[in-house]
């Protein structure tokens, strides 16, 4: 047998060994990937904390409950905090999804819910502008729970 005939077999063996070794390492992890939570940081404008909380208790909660009933989210939460400085949030909004795959085509899945509760896209855009008077969105981040074995 010449080297040309042996090379494909050797390459196939190397690839198989790599996959088997990778599987063994993954099986040795002390955790598995869990739910994904999107955390939004909000700072209310002075004098509008209660106004914004009323909006959260109304339309925001209605949308979250409908998304939960539809299986789009696992849970949602609102946390308040004391800001450390002028650029820190005073509210955190959390939405938890079963996994990363739950985020695929999320807008298409949630559009009907949003339209039913918040109105058409023009009305939703105007509501976003109006909420801008009550708060500033500082940012958001996505975190994933590590489920320990």
Q: Is the pLDDT of residue 14 over 90?
A: no
- pLDDT tens track for 70-125: 999 999 999 999 999 989 999 999 999 999 999 999 999 999 999 999 999 999 99
Tell me how far apart the alpha carbons of residues 96 and 3 are, in angstroms, rounded to a whole number.
55
pTM over 0.75: yes
Give the residue extent of every domain in the chain: 31-148
Q: Which CATH class is domain 31-148?
A: alpha beta
Contacts of 109 (CB under 8 A, 6+ apart): 70, 72
Least confident of 11-15, 32-36, 73-77, 83-87: 11-15
């Amino acid at each position: 047998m010449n080297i040309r005939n042996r090379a494909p077999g050797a390459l196939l063996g190397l690839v198989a060994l790599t996959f088997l070794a990778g599987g063994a390492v993954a099986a040795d992890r002390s955790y598995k990937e869990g739910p994904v939570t999107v955390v939004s940081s909000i700072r209310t404008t002075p004098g509008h904390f209660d106004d914004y909380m009323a909006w959260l208790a109304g339309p925001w909660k209605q949308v979250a409950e409908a998304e939960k009933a539809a299986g789009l989210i696992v849970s949602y939460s609102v946390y308040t905090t004391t800001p450390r400085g002028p650029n820190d949030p005073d509210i955190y909004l959390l939405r938890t999804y079963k996994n990363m795959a739950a985020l695929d085509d999320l807008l298409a899945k949630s559009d009907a819910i949003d339209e039913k509760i918040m109105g058409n896209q023009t009305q939703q855009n105007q509501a976003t502008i109006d909420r801008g008077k009550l708060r500033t969105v500082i940012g958001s981040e996505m975190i994933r729970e590590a489920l320990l074995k």
